[in-house]
Amino acid sequence: MNLSYNQIYHQMINFTLERYMVKNHLEILKNILLLVVVCTATTGLSIVLNRTGIGKENTLMIFLLGVLAVTVLTSGYAYGIVASVISLLMFNFFFTEPLHSLIISHAQDYILMIFFFIASIITGTLSSKFRMQSAMAIKNGKTAKILYDISESFLNLSGAEKILKTGIDSIQKYTGFECAAVLDQRKFDGKDLVYATQGYENTSEQKKPQIVVPIKGMASRLGNIKVEGVSGTLNHDIEMLIRAITYQMALVLDREFIYYERERIKIDMESEHVKTTLLRSISHDLRTPLTGIIGASSLMMESGEHLDKEDFAKLASDINEEATWLFNSVQNILDMTRITDKKIVLKKDYEVVEEVIEQALNQLPWLKKSSRFKVTIPSDIILIKMDGRLMVQVFVNLLDNAHKHTTDETQIELKVYVEHEHIIIQIIDDGPGIDDGISNSIFESFVTIPRNVADGHHGVGLGLAICKTIVEAHGGTIEASKGTEKGTIFTIKLPCE
């Protein structure tokens, strides 16, 4: 037999109500049975003890104990009142004259029964109240434990996705309701973020009744929690629990939003600094080599026929060196722009280290031909997985840096060797070395090293920062240190993959 969803849903609701009613009826029958058993037991015990001659006044204490037992064992003080009335009738029937009737012939029995009824009502009420307070204390303890667990689950969370998932999972765990969380992401990345528990019906036409609880931040509404399957008035305790979880979510999301805004402002400030510094570099530092190129080329054009071959070659070499420096500076600016925008992507492949170094030296012909430069590489072929183009840029920056900051008498060595499953590449010079004042910040952007060679080049201050970023992207490290006696050693350590 095929049933529609609505029919199945209503059958489930009816079945739940029936189970609740059956459970409630069973509770009532249990309390009535306890009432009857206790009253019968106290009456029988009183009759037996009365035959020993203890007196009817003392038998009332047994009935009073029965009333207390009913109050403790049953739910609600109404059963205690009923037990008081039944005990009073049983005492009148079995212990006052005339016996086995409800007639009272002595005034003192009236007074005795009145005081018994008042005492039984007071003690029963106090006992029931104490029981309710004890149950309330246990309930409050459990609630406090739940709230503590919820607060602890949000304590070290970061990321809107984790916060939403933890929130809806907590609601489902502690209330049993399926739910969904919708976060207004215009504060973050412009798109709404939606998370739902597995059983939530994420459809445009909601078939189950639901309530919507807002996630209220300090300044505005951050989103909503949709709780599904709630019909009629929600239980007060469950409603308070849902609102407590929602409040915790709002606090953590506010913290996340503040962190996001702070990072965004920091990035904007850094980007503005980069733009300002790049404009300064383009307008000042890059103009120097252009001036040299224009001057040398103009002299070659105007007086070329009067220049001997040695002077002509010197001017051509100067133009080549200035143009190469200008090309590398522009390449560094472009690479730093990609790094700032997080658009740098490694295209790793197995490369021969010697070939990568050769490509770098081809961009520095004056250094390659210089007698003060040497390369020390093992005879064995060294293969390493890397982005060849980017690593060429690293070697060009380091070698050009060593060339610019040393004199013609200074020796420069590029050394490669293998050590403990790592490739070690060192650029060593015996020049003046690095000033202690900038040794800790030498790999930061726009930090320039004071020069000891006055050729007009100042530098943009991006080369070493780019080297550090590229090497670390390969899983390696780079550091600068002083030589044994003098000079500087740049050490690159790359893992062998």
82 in the Ramachandran plot: left (φ > 0), alpha (ψ -120 to 50) or beta? alpha
> Could you give the CA distance from residue 394 to residue 401 in angstroms, rounded to a whole number?
11
Residue type, 153: S
> Could you give the CA distance from residue 176 to residue 226 in angstroms, rounded to a whole number?
13
At 252, list the tokens: 């953590």
Instruction: Give the 3-state secondary structure of residue 84.
Output: helix
Long-range pairs for 472-476: beta carbons < 8 A, 24 or more residues apart: 473/344, 473/346, 473/390, 474/346, 474/348, 474/386, 474/387, 474/391, 476/422
Strand-strand pairing, 373-376 and 412-419: parallel
Which pLDDT value is given to residue 492?
Answer: 92
At 140, list the tokens: 């409050």
**pLDDT, tens digit, 9 for 90 and up, residues 40-54:** 888 888 888 878 877
Domains of the chain: 5-149 (no CATH), 158-260 (3.30.450.40), 343-495 (3.30.565.10)
At 401, list the tokens: 């840096």
pLDDT tens over the chain, length 497 residues: 444 434 433 444 444 444 444 456 777 888 888 888 888 888 888 888 878 877 777 788 888 888 888 887 887 677 878 888 888 888 878 877 787 777 777 777 778 888 888 887 888 788 778 878 888 888 888 888 888 888 888 888 888 888 888 888 888 888 888 888 888 766 555 566 676 776 676 554 556 667 888 888 887 888 888 887 776 666 777 888 888 888 888 888 888 888 888 888 887 787 777 667 666 656 656 777 788 888 888 888 887 677 788 888 888 888 887 887 777 777 767 766 666 666 667 788 999 999 999 998 888 887 877 878 889 999 888 898 988 888 888 898 888 888 877 777 788 999 999 988 899 999 998 877 777 656 666 777 655 555 544 344 445 566 787 788 888 888 899 988 887 778 888 999 999 87
At 72, list the tokens: 């403790």
Which pLDDT value is given to residue 190?
Answer: 55
Whether the CB-CB separation of 242 and 227 falls below 8 Å is answered with yes
**pLDDT, tens digit, 9 for 90 and up, residues 341-392:** 666 677 889 999 999 999 988 888 878 778 788 899 998 888 989 888 888 8
At 329, list the tokens: 């500076």
Which pLDDT value is given to residue 14?
Answer: 47
What element of type H or E holds 222? strand 221-228
At 187, list the tokens: 């504060």
> Could you give the CA distance from residue 430 to residue 409 in angstroms, rounded to a whole number?
9
Closest CA to 459 of 277, 293, 297, 318: 277
186 secondary structure, DSSP code: G
Which pLDDT value is given to residue 20?
Answer: 42
Whether the CB-CB separation of 77 and 128 falls below 8 Å is answered with yes
Which pLDDT value is given to residue 15?
Answer: 41
Reported pTM: 0.47
DSSP line for 424-444: EEEEEE-SS---TTTTTSTTS
Closest CA to 171 of 224, 225, 212: 225
Which pLDDT value is given to residue 342?
Answer: 62
Whether the CB-CB separation of 322 and 292 falls below 8 Å is answered with yes
Closest CA to 390 of 305, 476, 467, 337: 467
Beta bridge partners of 491: 426, 479
Which pLDDT value is given to residue 423?
Answer: 92
Q: How many CB atoms lie within 10 A of CB 252?
A: 23
